[in-house]
Amino acid sequence: MKPSIKTVDFLVIGGGVAGLRAAIELAPKGSVLVLTKDKPTESSTEYAQGGIAVALSDEDEVGIHYDDTIKAGDGLCREDAVRILVEEGPGLILELISWGAEFDKEGSKLSFTMEAAHSRKRILHSRGDATGKEIERVLINKARSFPSISRFDFAFTLDLILENDRCVGATVLRHDTVFNIFAKAVILATGGAGQVFSRTTNPMIATGDGIAIACRAGALISDMEFIQFHPTTLYFPAAPPFLLSEAMRGEGAVLKNTQRKRFMPEYHEMSELAPRDAVTRAIVSEMVKTNSRHVYLDLTHLDKEFTKKRFPLIYATCLQYNIDITEDLIPVSPAAHYIMGGVYTNIYGETSIKGLFAAGEVASTGVHGANRLASNSLLEGLVYGARTGKQAAHYIDKENIDIAGIESYPEGFSDKASSMSALDVEKTRSTLRQVMWNKVGIIRCGESLSIAKKWLDKKNAILDMSFQNRRGFELKNMLTVAQLITDAALARKGSVGAHYRSDCKSKGDNWQKHTACRKDQTVTWID
Ligand code: FAD
Ligand code: SIN
């Protein structure tokens, strides 16, 4: 199949907070094409509940936000990246408000809530628990106001196009047509990889495509062992692991085991507001002790009208399962939520490949260290989306890249269909997700990781296959990401932040270094 051709100045792959914010920054500098693999709003950004952290309240300071972020990151945050996040965050939030974002208020003042591991109330929220939807709405509207930004929806990026070691575009599958889209600079903003695990809060689009695509192109990938498992998602037969926001504990909800006993004070001085990894492991420990598949989240002591008003989406969703959160205990258990690692970038969003930039959850700036502080991710998308956009514009000014001169390019897509049936693809996807949850999940050890590695390696043939549809290509990407996570988790023989190994509970050698990996190479350590 001969690909159709498109040419733009900037190609932004992803339409969540990071991609849109980058596109807005680039709009005055040239033509920008934003790709989404599904409908424009289908992203983690759209589903974000709790809010966005920012040091804007009277009782807060950027220095305190910095300290809390560093502490949650358990010694592995890149300090310059954190400083940028907390210092540039307030200005970008005020800008978002000036573009029409409506955050909840108390009287005429912004209302800030508490979340785990924050020492101040600093989380802005919108319509209670629909913060992401509001941010996505405002950014989509703002992007629409620039004639230089166009969109290409349901456009699945297969691979990057490289010419003389420089990224100059991407190959994209849209319905049955393959496109080679040439661009002077490419920004990856494809979000996370939660779908690699069988229990996840992440939407279906989160299959780690950006990480796999960059890895295939030879980019440096780092910190892949650090997966954040959210402590509280709905555990109910036939229900998906719907997120029950940490803000609920911020407002006073408590965790109880199946014997109705509150347990967090026995595990951590911050009780229910301990860092996420600590709460998640405490829940697992109580589930084991009580031989149960869940614990409970209890809000029944809070004022009923307050609960309904503060968490309208969660209230309505739980009611669909006959759980009235104002009266009933909510069965909860953890699920994969966020990936701290990804495509290695510096503080300007530059990856190890010229012309390729990355921002948001797909990127590994080191801003979250070994464990992300709650509600820092939307802020990261804004801050690093904008910075990456700026840098990409600077890059094309400086380098004077002529993409019109490119004559030969890889097709990136073969007519040779894989030998896997649609059923095989679904079955392998499902088993891969189970293997990752059971063997590379919240508590890992050398033995469980080796079993996973063996299973994943047996599927290597899939990595060379070409498919006819998105599901097959996603499987290929999920396999790459699963291998990267497992290899990094095997390499880190110690427990730091969200990476917990029952066979090495201390931090271990090299613990202050970051794991790094390139295609077909073993894991190494970088500063
Ligand atoms: P996303 O918003 O996920 O966007 C990814 C984009 O990439 C999508 O447009 C998608 O279509 C596109 N894409 C992916 N692959 C391809 C491909 N192959 N080709 C073309 N396009 C592609 N964080 C907070 O700070 N506060 C919160 O309250 C909060 N709540 C959360 C609640 C839930 C349920 C979830 C899942 C996450 C939450 N997070 C929260 C985390 C946060 O929402 C995400 O980390 C953040 O939104 C990621 O933004 P992003 O722009 O990097 O990616
Ligand atoms: C939540 O609302 O609990 C999610 C917040 C986050 O992931 O930062």
For the stretch 299-318, pLDDT in tens is: 999 999 999 999 999 999 99
Tell how far the Cα of 52 is from the centroid of ligand 2, in angstroms: 9
Tell how far the Cα of 191 is from the centroid of ligand 1, in angstroms: 5
Both tokens of residue 235? 């555990």
> With 80 as the cut, is the pLDDT of residue 243 above it?
yes
What single letter denotes the amino acid at residue 304? K
Mutate to test the pocket of ligand 1, among 20, 34, 38, 43 (most ligand atoms within 8 A of CB): 43
| Residue pair 364/221 in contact by the 8 Å Cβ criterion | yes
Report the 10 Å Cβ neighbour count for 63: 12
In a domain, 197, yes or no: no
Q: Which helix (H) or strand (E) holds 438?
A: helix 422-439
Picking from 335, 360, 393, the residue at the C-terminal end of a domain is 335
Task: List Cβ neighbours of 106 (8 Å cut-off, separation of 6 or more).
Answer: none
> With 80 as the cut, is the pLDDT of residue 415 above it?
no
Q: Which ligand sits nearest to residue 339's alpha carbon?
A: 1
Both tokens of residue 293? 């598949």
Q: What is the pTM of this model?
A: 0.97
The position carrying tokens 């003389």 is: 164
pLDDT in tens, 214-228: 999 999 999 999 999
In a domain, 407, yes or no: no
Q: State residue 447 phi and psi, 5-degree precision.
A: -70, -50
- Split at pLDDT 50, 70, 90, the class of 3 is confident
In a domain, 156, yes or no: no
**Cα–Cα separations (whole angstroms), residue 47 to 131, 133, 360, 462:** 8, 6, 15, 31
Name the residue with the closest Cα to ligand 1, atom 41: 377
Q: What is the pLDDT of residue 404?
A: 82
> With 90 as the cut, is the pLDDT of residue 167 above it?
yes
- Identify the residues whose C-beta falls under 6 Å from ligand 1: 13-19, 35-38, 42-45, 47-52, 131-132, 155-157, 189-192, 201-202, 205, 209, 243, 338, 360-362, 375-378, 381
| Ligand 2 atom index nearest CA of 373 | 8
Q: DSSP assignment, residue 372?
A: P
Q: Which ligand sits nearest to residue 379's alpha carbon?
A: 1
Which residues is 12 bridged to in the sheet?
Answer: 34, 187
pLDDT in tens, 418-440: 778 898 999 999 999 999 999 99
Cα end-to-end distance, the chain, whole Å: 44
Q: How far apart are CA 309 and CA 451, in angstroms?
A: 47
Name the residue with the closest Cα to ligand 1, atom 6: 14
Tell how far the Cα of 175 is from the centroid of ligand 2, in angstroms: 33
> With 70 as the cut, is the pLDDT of residue 486 above it?
yes
Q: How far apart are CA 362 and CA 367, in angstroms?
A: 12
pLDDT in tens, 345-402: 999 999 999 999 999 999 999 999 999 999 999 999 999 999 999 999 999 999 989 8
High-pLDDT (> 90) share of the chain, % = 93
Average pLDDT over residues 91-118: 96
In a domain, 69, yes or no: no
Picking from 318, 335, 352, the residue at the C-terminal end of a domain is 335
Q: Which helix (H) or strand (E) holds 84?
A: helix 79-98
Count H helices, E strands: the chain?
15, 21
Name the residue with the closest Cα to ligand 2, atom 1: 245
| Residue pair 237/293 in contact by the 8 Å Cβ criterion | no
Task: List Cβ neighbours of 399 (8 Å cut-off, separation of 6 or more).
Answer: 184
Q: What is the pLDDT of residue 418?
A: 75
Name the residue with the closest Cα to ligand 1, atom 39: 48
Picking from 289, 316, 335, the residue at the C-terminal end of a domain is 335
The position carrying tokens 């953890």 is: 334
| Ligand 1 atom index nearest CA of 363 | 52
Q: What is the pLDDT of residue 409?
A: 58
Residue 496 three-state SS: strand
Tell how far the Cα of 463 is from the centroid of ligand 1, in angstroms: 25
Q: How far apart are CA 334 and CA 234, in angstroms?
A: 9
Tell how far the Cα of 482 is from the centroid of ligand 2, in angstroms: 23
| Ligand 1 atom index nearest CA of 246 | 28
Q: Which helix (H) or strand (E) holds 52?
A: strand 52-53
Choose among 137, 132, 194, 143: nearest CA to 19: 143
- Identify the residues whose C-beta falls under 6 Å from ligand 2: 49-50, 245-247, 374-375, 377
Q: How far apart are CA 251 and CA 268, in angstroms?
A: 18
Q: Which helix (H) or strand (E) holds 25?
A: helix 17-26
Q: How far apart are CA 493 and CA 501, in angstroms?
A: 7
| Residue pair 334/231 in contact by the 8 Å Cβ criterion | yes
Choose among 282, 225, 290, 214: nearest CA to 258: 290
| Ligand 2 atom index nearest CA of 338 | 7
What is the domain extent for residue 301?
Answer: 232-335
Tell how far the Cα of 113 is from the centroid of ligand 2, in angstroms: 12
pLDDT in tens, 33-74: 999 999 999 999 999 999 999 999 999 999 999 999 999 999
| Ligand 2 atom index nearest CA of 244 | 3
In a domain, 415, yes or no: no
> With 90 as the cut, is the pLDDT of residue 81 above it?
yes
Task: Assign residue 470 the CATH number of its domain.
Answer: 1.20.58.100
Mutate to test the pocket of ligand 1, among 377, 469, 470, 473 (most ligand atoms within 8 A of CB): 377
Q: Give the total number of structural domains in the chain.
A: 2
In a domain, 451, yes or no: yes
In a domain, 41, yes or no: no
Choose among 355, 395, 338: nearest CA to 217: 355
Choose among 491, 425, 432: nearest CA to 456: 432
> With 90 as the cut, is the pLDDT of residue 408 above it?
no
Task: Assign residue 255 the CATH number of its domain.
Answer: 3.90.700.10
In a domain, 82, yes or no: no
Tell how far the Cα of 116 is from the centroid of ligand 2, in angstroms: 9
Which residues are known catalytic residues? 276
Q: In what order do the strands lie in the sheet with 363-364?
A: 363-364, 342-344, 221-222, 514-517, 524-526
- CA dihedral sign, ordered 17, 20, 26, 28: negative
State whether 426 and 522 are in the same domain.
Answer: yes
pLDDT in tens, 190-209: 999 999 999 999 999 999 99
| Ligand 2 atom index nearest CA of 232 | 3
Q: What is the pLDDT of residue 29?
A: 97
